[in-house]
Amino acid sequence: MNKTKKVPITLHNNNNVGHQKHHKKTHHHASLLTNFKSAVMKCASFFALFLSGKRNTQESKVVEDRKSTNKVKGASSSSDLSSDSNKSSSSKLKFSHSYGSSSTSNTQLGTAGNFSFEEICKATAKFSAANKIGEGAFGTVYKGKLNDGTLVAAKRANKDVENKNLAEFKNEVSTLSKIEHLNLVRLYGYLEHADEKIIVVEYVNNGSLREHLDGTRGDGLEIGERLDIAIDIAHAVTYLHMYTDHPIIHRDIKASNILLTDKLRAKVADFGFARLAAEDPSATHVSTKLKGTAGYIDPDYMRSYKLSEKSDVYSFGVLLVEMVTGRHPVEPRRPLSERVTIKWALQMLKQGEVVIAMDPRLRRSPAAKKAVEKVLKLAHQCLAPSRQSRPTMKTCAEVLWGIRKDFRDKTSSHLSHDSHHSANYPHRDAMNDRHKLFDIEGDNDRKFVSA
């Protein structure tokens, strides 16, 4: 009986020992598993941190690369601003623009510009008579050379300049600082020092269109060259009317304000009379004082003092007649019927006597006569008494493009292209160079594109 009582006790003690051993073994395995999991988690965290850092570094590098690429593109874009008449850039250039917009310009005129009077004196050899290249109501224009070799034109105001001319000085600086286009004279800076007021602009080395029409410059302009020049002018004025932040009316489009490079590229100059168009897009005009040059002023503007972009179109019409006839707008020494050139030329057009109206310096080929006839028809539209009846400058550019294309097509089958130009006239391929030279897209629609 005693033996029977001992057995369960012995069995009970053995099970307890086994359980304790099993518990210790299980606890040991759990501890190892925990340590292993902890090590794995630490490794995972380390690798996650490593990969994250590497990815951030790569992303940072991509951002830097993109920034670097943008900088290169920006530099490339800005380098395209140089004009073909003057490739070097002045270290004194004050105003910076995007090529087809004035949004980056916000110039406030103070009492001084970005040139010193000593610099301009040195550049022009103390305003030497040998460097004198022009003169007008505002003052005298001198050719100059800056320290870095940049050629400039310095427009020096007369000492007895009146308030109205002072206003023109500031108006020209303000206008030029807002614009930049291949066919517009470029502003380099200005100077106000005591009674000295000087505007420093791009030097254009081949005189004015008027000088070439008079025969005092060059070897004479053939009709192909005159069409090229007319298109350049139309592009420049279209840019002023449509592609600036605020439309600009030049108000003094005339042959003496059109400068030519040695490659016969036209550049519109002299913005002393320029005026901002109406701020309200729906407005048809802006009321202002009468300014301009006799013979070029829009009669509608002269009568009503209401100025609009179509006033420039009228002046352009006068200029077109001037270009194909070679005459000045008013010829006081001619017979009474021929004194007002536009009336005489359009009368010749009406009578079918275009060849009589042609500049005697022009060759009388069938293609040339047809081109002159088309130009006079366009001029007739520009000279419409009512401004609403006149085309836009954009339309003028497109029509002129078509006239030039037809002229070239007709002459190419008979004579070489170069025979229709003066000596040293640069060959211009309308198909390959139209974007670069004339900012025109397409041969069929002749769409105008701002430079």
Annotated binding site for ATP: 155
Residue 165's nearest CA partner among 176, 155, 178 is: 155
* Cα 106 from Cα 318, distance rounded (Å): 34
What's the half-sphere exposure (Cβ side, CA atoms, 13 Å) at 316? 33
176 with 187: CB under 8 angstroms? yes
252 among known catalytic residues = yes
- Residue given tokens 């517009």 in the structure block: 184
230's enclosing H/E stretch is helix 223-242
Q: How far is CA 429 from the centre of its chain?
A: 22
Query: Which helix (DSSP H) or strand (DSSP E) does residue 56 occupy?
Result: helix 2-79
The residue whose two tokens read 């590497």 is: 54
Residues 6+ apart with CB under 8 A from 297: 290, 311, 314, 315
Query: Can you tell me the distance from the alpha carbon of 137 to that of 292, in angstroms, rounded to the nearest whole number?
Result: 12
Q: Which residue in this structure is represented by tokens 């359009």?
A: 346
Q: How many CB atoms lie within 10 A of CB 204?
A: 24
The DSSP result for 324-388, as a single string, is: HH---SB-TTS-GGGSBHHHHHHHHHHTT-HHHHS-TTS---HHHHHHHHHHHHHHHHHT-SSGG
**Binding positions:** 155
- Which position among 228, 252, 312, 359 bears the catalytic label? 252
Residues 6+ apart with CB under 8 A from 428: 228, 437
d(CA 271, CA 182): 16
The residues that are catalytic are 252
